[in-house]
Amino acid sequence: MKKKINQAPNPLELFDIRRVSICPEHFETTTISFDDNTPFKIRMELGLVEWIEANTTGRYYLRKFKDSVYIGFEQPKELTFFIMSNK
């Protein structure tokens, strides 16, 4: 996905700290579940990361399990935006 050229740099992206490795307690979270017949589950994590990087600006957490993906956002409004855009 292309980024806007005239956009101010995001400090979290410059220091590569947008995606955190441990989900802090203050993050707002959700879980996306899918069954074994879901054809896109192999590439699901990559697609979610691309969408999050292109459409949000804050820190986030993402972890893929066997049958679900656990996602957390530092800013509650970004979780709301993510849920509404993926319905």
Tally the domains of the chain. 1
DSSP H or E run through 30? strand 28-33
Percent of the chain with pLDDT over 70: 80
Q: What are the pLDDT digits (tens) for 9-37?
A: 787 877 778 999 999 999 999 998 876 66
Residue with tokens 């972890």: 63
Mean pLDDT of the residues in the chain: 83
Residue 77 phi, psi (nearest 5): -65, -30
* pTM greater than the 0.75 cutoff: yes
Q: pLDDT tens digits, residue range 26-71?
A: 999 999 887 666 556 566 777 888 999 989 999 999 998 888 889 9
Q: Sign of the CA dihedral 50, 45, 16, 79?
A: positive
Question: Does 50 fall in a domain?
Answer: yes
Domain assignment of residue 11, yes or no: no
Structural domain of residue 33, as residue ranges? 24-85
Domain membership of residue 56 (yes or no) is yes
14 within a domain of the structure (yes/no)? no
* Domain presence at residue 37: yes
